[in-house]
Amino acid sequence: MAKHPPVLELLNLEVGFPALSIVKGINLQIHQGEKVALVGESGCGKSLTAFSILRLLPQGAAITGGQVIYDGHDLASLPARQLRRIRGQGIALILQEPMTSLNPVLPIGLQVAENIRSHERISRRAAKERVIELLDMVGIPNARARYDAYPHNFSGGMRQRVMIAMAIACNPRLLIADEPTTALDVTIQAQVMDLLEGLCDRLNMAMLLITHDLGAVAQWADRVAVMYAGRIVEEAPIDAFFAAPQHPYSQGLMQSSVGEGWHYSDRRLSEVPGTVHSARGEAGCAFAPRCAAVRPTCRQAPPPLELIAPGRRAACFRREALSATPKETLRVTA
């Protein structure tokens, strides 16, 4: 995968509000057909990073530095007209809550067809047939009859399938899924993630999965990037990450989850104490106030994200000492 140019490359990406930097120096590559998970607790900057790719940022936020490279273009500085052609066609986005993303007064078939006709010259009849094919592809039962149904006629899981159909309508090269299963029950979550995985394989589509669910990461991602306080603190292939996380925050996330890697256990869960470090007045490692292994050097400058093995990066001054410590003694404490 890495031998080919990436579908998307973030280079020193900086995003923030006036006088306040939130996303800080993000470097990340996603290759064709690859499923990359961006994980971390709420407030770490995951969604802001995802929305910055298509410049769909909240009011007041802006890209303040770096580049977002897609198909040879820097999306951070691309004219709005050209960027609109890429949205939905080259890069598609699925949001957390489909009910707020779908128009409640328009039939779902027309909403999916509108996305197709905004990017392709196609007749209404041809667009309708394409939509029915897409609805069938994402598992909507009796797709032709439900073309004229409204969002309130669908369950949460079915609405999310409609959103997925809309996202893949123009065969994007990259799908950004921002917490796509948050409002769904566990069984439906698994069905939606299985569907996304199958579509990525079938369409050779890359996916950036924004989540805090390590179980989903372990089962469906190829590679993981852990984000904390606006920075990526660890990046690794899935198997290597769950076998031996290299950053104390990653270790804390693992120990506070239900399972060890992808195997469930009945052990007592530990917690990562405190909250995400404030974006203001940063000095040294942002995780230092919550880290049991903190040393004076950790408070002096942010540790660089260094290559520690092929495909693996970590940002921790104490990484080698932590790696040599038996797993059972690695507990992030107050």
Write the pLDDT tens digit of every residue in 121-171. Answer: 999 999 999 999 999 999 999 999 999 999 999 998 999 999 999 999 999
Write the pLDDT tens digit of every residue in 33-78. Answer: 999 999 998 888 999 999 999 999 999 999 999 999 999 999 999 9
Q: How is residue 16 written in tokens?
A: 């923030």
Q: How high is the pLDDT of residue 226?
A: 97
The DSSP symbol for 296 reads G
Of 216, 211, 204, 198, the C-alpha closest to 138 is 198
Write the pLDDT tens digit of every residue in 200-219. Answer: 999 999 999 999 888 889 99
Radius of gyration of the chain (CA): 21
Residue written as tokens 């805090």? 212
pTM of the model: 0.89
